[in-house]
Structure 1
């Protein structure tokens, strides 16, 4: 935070800033004194012009007492404690930034996860520090410590990303200064997030049957729509009926993970699910939670469907369906990666590249088909073609 302008007085070591009187709201001088104690420069608040009847001369006497080593008076001690509290109140520590940041966010799964990361990792390390007080070395030590404790690189990356978001939030709101990049840089751990969950034909058949057998219609249709559209869990939680354009055949995705609102085609399978899906009265959401509010979880039902289908332990029942949607399109050889990127609403093509090997396999298979067909034709040349070639040779 920028420091207020200090004004000198006729007394050495005594200065003041302009503040506002608590009782009247009028301009008021707040006096400070500076002196050395045990070789260290000390600055403390002497008092307010009106509230404490403080004058430059009175502040100079207090300063002289400090230099002589006299104990603080009860009033001076109270003033000092008050000054400390006021100073602390003006400090936007990471803990205060988190409280302000969280107050601007809806209570959902994402905020709950971020809260856990802050309370478990960031608060113990940096909660009482202002962002600019956290150095590169501090961040490096925390990253190294968490990795040694067995935390996954992805978890550590999320923790550091939350720290960056809090700092950006504070700077954007004018609550704190932007840290000096020469003193604070954040090195993210390398994360291998190229996992592309897939199911074979038998596993997919069991999953479809398990969804059919699910008595919870909301959960069953939630899973179906995830499978047929590749939408993210959070996007389905936020999906409202006004976002479904049955006439033009599109689903509007508002504020997706990539940031900018987008739309994806409403295919026939997804249309069939939505047209038969029940509307919950007085709720705008397609898949509402308790009381018609936005849903925040569907984990119990999705895990039940996963168990009933006998899917692999590492298959995530919701995000795995998104991967399955993408893998199916990529391996078909009928969808290029740019189109797939738009269907998945990936902000960057780098996220879609994880499926490129599947498309390459499909292209190789198509190439082999062409090679086989042409190879057979070459091994049994058409006599009429041969005669035409010979005749052409004679014409030359």
Structure 2
């Protein structure tokens, strides 16, 4: 292809060739400058007439800056950009760490939730930074911003915990350096985690009736099993028929939240639910989703049951049933906290202590019964008094 004709301008070292505008296709001048640097002749494009609003005078000023070394030439700029890209490729930013972290995780609701938190809260602020470039002040600002936006303290805590997990992952895999604790500390917001969700006797009756009226047997039995076992939603999603041990009377929970696989007793109420529950052909799951695959949600049906029962707005249909299970046992006064912790598969007793006041209330009530019976002993007209006296005579 023959070289295009060069046209001189009134400015030394500035010329143009005739081309066509990229957008409109109409004729357009493309300006170039020529100068020497360290004895080497450099020739570079200064810009287009319309696209860059370039004129011979502007091109002349660019040429003067190049000669004085005030600006990089196009060739120098390309070399700098190449060097920057090479350096960027070796940087393990938070965005790159997330991609690597996610590739090591199993697809499921937990990863989906973490991905949403990263994309919404961490990536816009820290995505292009390496862990060591994030300072304590940056994290404090993020926490305060989330709270000012109306996000709960629990949400802010989850976001910061994800940030911490990404850094731990990167350090463990040798991808990045651990931040200097003098420059980066993570202050978690205080979360009031003592709230329990419970139902009174009337609400419980309405819930049972609403479940009975639910035409979707999968949803109805899902709710029943959550209520009778206290299992988490995710644990029920993952529950397979091989995990149901009718002979020994146990349910195996694989990879529960925050711990290793374990088992819980299969009580009579839960056994009855599972014994009559339909098996979906070619699916290993007790409560399968579409195509027999693992279920990922049951929110529509559970909210429908909640609405039919007229339950309080703050009551969460599934996690609330877990609280109901725990509260019922604790308030019975017949189950100690260690046993309740094992039934709930809590990793730490601190998670179970929210129910301790219910157990204490039940014990206080039992103690009051004894106090009333024994305190009235010996008083006229008290039946227990006669029993105590008769016992004394037997001796």
- Displacement after TM superposition at 1:278 (Å): 1.2
CA RMSD in angstroms comes to 2.0
Map 1:30-109 to 2 at 5 A: 69=69, 75-109=75-109
Helix, strand or coil for the counterpart of 2:314?
A: coil
1:258-280 Cα offsets, whole Å, 9 max, x none, are 22111110111111111111111
Is 1:181 the counterpart of 2:181? The answer is yes
Q: Is 2:215 the partner of 1:223?
A: no
Shift of 1:325: 0.1
Distance 1:92 1:71 in 2: 30
Aligned to 1:340: 340
- Secondary structure of the equivalent of 1:112? helix
The residue that corresponds to 1:207 in the other structure is: 207
Q: Indicate the residue corresponding to 1:250 in structure 2.
A: 250
TM-score (norm 1): 0.78
CA distance 1:79–1:244, change in 2 (3 Å):
same
Q: Which range is displaced more, 68-77 or 315-324?
A: 68-77
1 CA distance for matches of 2:295 and 2:67?
64
TM-score, normalized by length of structure 2?
0.78
Match of 1:378 in 2: 378
Structure 1 residues 289, 68: closer, same or farther in 2, change over 3 A?
same
Matched position secondary structure for 2:146: helix
Task: Extract unaligned runs of 5+ from structure 1.
Answer: 1-65, 390-396
1:156-197 CA-to-partner distances (Å, cap 9, x unmatched) read 111111111111111122211111112111000111121101
> Could you report, residue by residue, the CA deviation over 1:335-394 in whole angstroms, capped at 9, with x for unpaired residues?
0111000000111111111111111111011111111222233333655666789xxxxx
Separation in 1 of the partners of 2:144 and 2:75?
47
Alignment match, 1:318: 318
Q: Which residue of 1 aligns with 2:162?
A: 162
Structure 2's unaligned 5+ residue stretches are 1-65, 380-384
CA distance in 2, matches of 1:245, 1:86: 57
The farther-off stretch of 304-313 and 143-152 is 143-152
- Report the counterpart of residue 48 of structure 1 in structure 2: none
- In the aligned structure 2, how far is the partner of 1:289 from the partner of 1:184? 43
Structure 2 residue aligned with 1:49: none
Shift of 1:70: 8.0
In structure 1, the partner of 2:298 is: 298
1:384–1:262 Cα change, 3 Å: closer
Question: Which residue does the alignment assign to 1:138?
Answer: 138
**2:377 alignment partner, SS class:** helix
Tell which deviates more after alignment, 331-340 or 368-377. Answer: 368-377
SS of equivalent to 2:255: coil
What secondary structure is seen at the aligned counterpart in 2 of 1:215? coil
Moved more, 104-113 or 308-317: 104-113
Q: Secondary structure at the match of 2:252?
A: strand
Q: Which stretch of the first structure deviates more once superposed, 130-139 or 113-122? A: 113-122
1:287 alignment partner in structure 2: 287
In structure 1, what is the Cα distance between the partners aligned to 2:290 and 2:131? 38
Bigger mean CA deviation after superposition, 202-211 or 113-122? 113-122
Separation (CA, whole Å) in 1 of partners of 2:226 and 2:204: 14
Q: Give the structure with higher Rg (CA).
A: 2
* Alpha-carbon distance between aligned partners in 1 of 2:268 and 2:389, rounded to the nearest angstrom: 49
User: SS at the partner of 1:151?
Assistant: coil
Structure 2 CA distance for aligned equivalents of residues 254 and 387 of structure 1: 61
- In 1, the alpha carbon distance for the partners of 2:393 and 2:159 equals 75
- Measure, in 2, the Cα distance between the counterparts of 1:78 and 1:96: 24
Query: Are the structure 2 counterparts of residues 268 and 388 from structure 1 closer, same or farther at C-alpha, using a change threshold of 3 Å?
Result: closer
